[in-house]
Amino acid sequence: MMSDNKLNELKAYLKEKGSIAIAYSAGVDSTFLLKVAHDTLGDSCIAITGISEVFPHKEQDEASEFCKKEGIRQLILYPHEVEDEEFAKNPSNRCYICKHILFSRMKKMAAENGIAYIAEGSNLDDLGDYRPGLQAIKELEILSPLREVGLTKAEIRQYSKELGLPTWDKPSFACLSSRIPYGERITPEKLAMIEKAEDLISSLGIKQFRVRMQKDTARIETLPEDFPILLQDDNRNRIITEFKSFGFKYISLDLQGYRTGSLNEVLSSKKDN
175 a catalytic residue? yes
Q: Cα–Cα–Cα angle for 175, 176, 181, nearest 5°?
A: 110
Cα(114)–Cα(189) distance, integer angstroms: 37
Cβ neighbours for 265, distance < 8 A, ≥ 6 positions apart:
none
Neighbouring C-beta atoms of residue 226, cutoff 10 Å: 19
Could you give the CA distance from residue 13 to residue 53 in angstroms, rounded to a whole number?
Answer: 33
Cα distance between the two ends of the chain = 48
- Asked if residues 36 and 148 have their Cβ atoms less than 8 Å apart, the reply is no
A 10 A CB-CB count for 149 gives 20
Cα distances (angstroms) measured from residue 235 to each of 33, 203, 230, 238, 240: 37, 10, 6, 5, 9
Instruction: Give, in order, the Cα–Cα distances in Å from 78 to each of 48, 66, 109, 198, 220.
Output: 10, 19, 11, 23, 29
Burial of 34 (0-12, 13-18, 19+ CB in 10 A): buried
Q: Which amino acid is at 156?
A: I
- Residues marked as catalytic: 175
